[in-house]
Amino acid sequence: MTTLKFNHNLAQIQNLLFAFAMKLTYSNREDANDLYQETVMRAFASKDRFQEGTNFKAWVTTIMRNCFINEYRKRRTRNQVEQPLEDNVEFAVRQAVRNDAGTVIMMKELRIMLDKMDEAHRIPFEMFFNGFEYQEIADELELPMGTVKSRIFFARKKMKDMIQGSYGVEHFRRA
């Protein structure tokens, strides 16, 4: 789809999209503006994927709905309130912790192993480790979800192999 055709189609449904954004954000004008802008940006970035002859309005509203869902998930995990540290001090003091220092893999060593991995596998793995959903990773990296799942699977396998290679099979099974 050309930029001119995209702009023409978008201008025809602009009011409808903003109304849909207002509905999704419970009439919060600032959030609706943000959602609308994010949707237009994503739709424009992937305008070449739009198939001529299909419903442009449905395509863009699907993008908007997915943007809203992704943002909702991010906010939900970001806004979890945790207890202040002082509330957990007594528990931490009373709770005995077993520490097998010889079998614990240090985070610096894991980071070195992770950095040895190629970017195609490392980036989706890190995003998944940091709480992103498969679909969010696929959208962010503009990859099919199957590719994302495959890369994360192979990254886990590579990490497991590197850990076993460094620490041996016996240490890996106990940890």
Q: pTM for the complete prediction?
A: 0.45
- For residues 113, 114, 115, 118, the Cα torsion angle rounded to the nearest 10 degrees is 110
Q: What is the pLDDT of residue 87?
A: 59
Domains of the chain: 3-78 (1.10.1740.10), 100-168 (1.10.10.10)
What is the sign of the dihedral through the CA atoms of 34, 77, 145 and 119? positive
Residue linked to tokens 């793995």 = 125
pLDDT digit string (tens) for the chain, length 175 residues: 788 888 999 899 999 999 999 998 888 899 899 999 999 999 999 988 888 889 999 999 999 999 999 888 887 776 565 556 555 555 555 555 565 554 455 667 777 888 888 889 989 988 888 888 999 999 999 999 999 999 999 998 988 888 777 766 554 454 4
Q: Both ends of the chain: CA-CA distance in Å?
A: 53
Return d(Cα 131, Cα 9) in angstroms, integer.
36
Closest CA to 163 of 129, 112, 127, 126: 112
- What is the residue whose two structure tokens read 């003091």? 93
